[in-house]
Chain A
Amino acid sequence: DAGVIQSPRHEVTEMGQEVTLRCKPISGHNSLFWYRQTMMRGLELLIYFNNNVPIDDSGMPEDRFSAKMPNASFSTLKIQPSEPRDSAVYFCASSSRLAGKGEQYFGPGTRLTVT
């Protein structure tokens, strides 16, 4: 099992540019989560999907952020336009109600720097 795959691992962009983060969950998992981690705010849940359907997006900071899950094996988190305060590590995680105890498995994260 390859685990949760995220790309890119590092992204440096200029303010105002569009940023797209990608995630491939573990095969067979039916829940996918996007988190943001900063020193100031800790680990924040942005949005999560069950069976490709967004369930709770109340953590999405503002309209500049959007997330999609077009199929069970792929999700994107887009920031348009990006701002320096978006600099953070973004994690994707997946889990399954059917496997194990439903623990979340995290990807390695994408470190985003907006200058």
Chain B
Amino acid sequence: GNSVTQMEGPVTLSEEAFLTINCTYTATGYPSLFWYVQYPGEGLQLLLKATKADDKGSNKGFEATYRKETTSFHLEKGSVQVSDSAVYFCALNPPAGTALIFGKGTTLSVSS
């Protein structure tokens, strides 16, 4: 079946540290992949996406590359800020599906 596994949190970093949040997936065919972010008390917002192998999605300093060979879509940022503190969700769209499938979320806490 289709599933998303992302690293458990919480992840605690100091400002300007490098961030990696791992995400791997299981899917038939070639799904589209997404990262969503949820700030405290809010709904989810799309952070970035990639629709085919080797695509790199980027936004607000965050990047993720669609790696078919390792079935991964790891989220990275070179220098985190306190304002990046949030919950991050990796998600996939199954090729024949309608609903996105989400990972369990990773909480990031950045301190100054």
A binds B: no
The residues of B with any CB-CB pair to A shorter than 8 Å are none
The residues of A with any CB-CB pair to B shorter than 8 Å are none
